[in-house]
Amino acid sequence: MAVIHNPVLRGFNPDPSILRVGDDYYIATSTFEFHPAVRLHHSTDLATWSTIGHALDDGFDLRGIPDSGGVWAPSLSYAEGKFWLAYSIVRTMDGDDKDIDNYLVTADAVTGPWSAPVHLGSRGFDFSFFHDPDGTHWIVGVQWDQRPEHPSFSGLVIEQYLPDERRTTGDATVIHREDGLVEGPNLYRLGDWYYLLIAAGGTGWNHGITLARSRNLLGPYERDAREAVLTTRDAPGHPLQKAGHGELVQTPDGDWLLVHLASRPTLHLGERYSTLGRETCLQRVEFDADGWLRLADGGHHAAVEVVLGSPPDDGRDDSPGAREWIDEFDGAALDSRRWTTLRAPLPHDVADLTARPGWLRLRGGHSTASVFDQSMLLTRVEEHRAEFEVVVDAEPRSPREAAGPIAWYDRSGWIWLQVTHDRDDGRQLRVVRRDGSTTTRSAAVAVPDGPLRLRTVLDGPDLRFAWAGVGEEWTAFPGVHPAWTLSDDHGPRLRFTGLFFGVRADDLDGRGWTADIASARLRFIP
């Protein structure tokens, strides 16, 4: 027996793709503009998951990619004794235009090494592999139409992949089309039926999962008469919003589970904001007497707790409690399961663990607007109540040098407590905030020389900062800051990622200025 407490992957872990090989379960999740790319997770009981690495790491470079572009919707599968991973790289997304490349990599083990990528074309996104029991291999995905007078969504298409030639045939067939956008397609063959699991309703509050089926691989596909297998679009108070974009997995006992994304919003003035991004959940499902997929416990709302096997009878409470980790920066390398960067890895001379043992020396980089070389280390925020502390030893010499902890969503949404310098007042602390195209700066607080302890506190929609000298009492930095703006749901643009805490250093003169960081501590309180 195991009890699944959703989300099973908390914080920014969207577009889950699930796979079972033997007794091992794996989930791959989207990473968008963050590096390393395609996060990989492992479990043996479906309830307890660990991050085991990434598929696209060394040598993978996304510099120049726009916010919420990059690696979309990985698809993890297993065939012919190998792991297969398909993924899209969205390089531009301006108006009706999307420049997208789709790729396949394979590996003997899920931890790699992964092969050189095979280009699968650029006709759309959300491509997944279907390995037909007859031995053929197919990709199915969203076809995009850039013409402004046509609907951008021009159908779900299927195309055969020829593994011996490492290419697709180049001929795609539309197998399903609807008036609105449907995406995230995955094909399954069960008995005489081909089942097409699809996400519908967009990626926001109207998101959901539905099904279509056909006795022919190439269609036509009949849509389930029920509006959705899974959705919370009709339940705005449900704790798991935006439920959608899923895949199926079968246990060795023959039971079926549905992995899907969802968001746990926080409220600000009655409005919902998904600061944690889209997270990964699991539900029990079954096929009814007519062969249609349904939630095993009835209805169409995502369950927060899912019991596998017999209910527990020992009175234990295995729900998530407070969690904490500390990084003393005393290892040989940064742990990429915990830390992430923007678009590309930080070179060793930018993130140096050897210059001052027990400290991370960050060489300052480009500004927060850069799509190339920001000097910033980030970690996912997994709960609406969290504390992040670092020790910063930095002596900036001008306002163009700054370092400190940051709450980051993307280049147009961040809140940064920075140690910087003023010509008249010397070293000081300021909170600088970007909201869209507007940057605001708080009044400065003068601080003494030497290392500073800096704290970031998230409390639902609010963010606060505090500072202290080493061994001294905390002093609250004035003001409460709007963490709710660091969410998918704030502003006019489509945004697909989530909130990170981290630390950064800017050197806008490019003179090699550095800041030293020690003892990063992160605590989550469910």
Task: Catalogue the active-site residues.
Answer: 15, 183
- Whole-angstrom distance, CA of residue 519 vs CA of residue 388: 10
| Interacting residues of 487 by C-beta distance below 8 A, sequence separation 6+ | 273, 274, 275, 409, 413, 495, 499
| Both structure tokens of 399 | 């306002």
CA atoms within 13 A on the CB side of 187: 28
Q: Is the pTM of this model over 0.95?
A: yes
- Residues 6 or more apart whose CB falls under 8 angstroms from that of 183 comprise 125, 126, 142, 153, 198, 199, 200, 245
Contacts of 453 by beta carbon, 8 Å cutoff, 6+ apart: 389, 390, 391, 467, 468, 469, 470, 472, 474
What local confidence, expressed as pLDDT, does residue 311 receive?
59
Closest C-alpha among 467, 483, 499, 391 to residue 435: 483
Q: How confident is the model at residue 308, as a pLDDT?
A: 92
> Per the structure block, which two tokens stand in for 284?
């029990």
Q: Report pLDDT for 343.
A: 98
CA gap 434, 411 in Å, rounded: 8
pLDDT in the model for residue 424: 85
Question: Considering only CA atoms, which of 9, 1, 22 is closest in space to residue 48?
Answer: 9
Integer Cα distance of 71 and 450 in angstroms: 41
Whole-number Å distance between alpha carbons of 202 and 214: 24
- pLDDT given for residue 313 in this prediction: 58
Concatenating the DSSP letter of every residue in 406-467 gives EEEEETTEEEEEEEEEETTTEEEEEEEEEETTEEEEPPPEE--SS-EEEEEEEETTEEEEEE
Please provide the DSSP assignment of 127-191 as one string: EEEEE-TTS-EEEEEEEE---TTS-SEEEEEEEEEETTTTEE-S--EEEE--SS-EEEEEEEEET
pLDDT at 132: 97
**Residue-range domains of the chain with CATH:** 2-308 (2.115.10.20), 323-524 (2.60.120.200)
pLDDT in tens, the chain (526 residues): 689 999 999 999 999 999 999 999 999 999 999 999 999 999 999 999 999 999 999 899 999 999 999 999 999 999 999 999 999 999 999 888 899 999 999 999 999 999 999 999 999 999 999 999 999 999 999 999 889 888 888 899 999 999 999 999 999 999 999 988 899 999 999 999 999 999 999 999 999 999 999 999 999 999 999 999 999 999 999 999 999 999 999 999 999 999 999 999 999 999 999 999 999 999 999 999 999 999 999 999 999 999 997 655 555 666 678 899 999 999 999 999 999 999 999 999 999 999 999 999 999 999 999 999 999 999 999 999 999 999 999 999 999 999 999 999 999 999 999 999 998 889 999 999 999 999 999 999 999 999 999 999 999 999 999 999 999 999 999 999 999 999 999 999 889 999 999 999 999 999 999 999 999 999 999 8
Q: Which of 52, 40, 49 is nearest to 4 (CA)?
A: 49
Q: Taking phi first (over 0 means left), then psi (-120 to 50 degrees means alpha), and beta for anything else, what does residue 437 get?
A: alpha
Q: Give yes or no for a contact between 157 and 174, defined as CB atoms under 8 angstroms apart.
A: yes
3-state SS, residue 398: coil
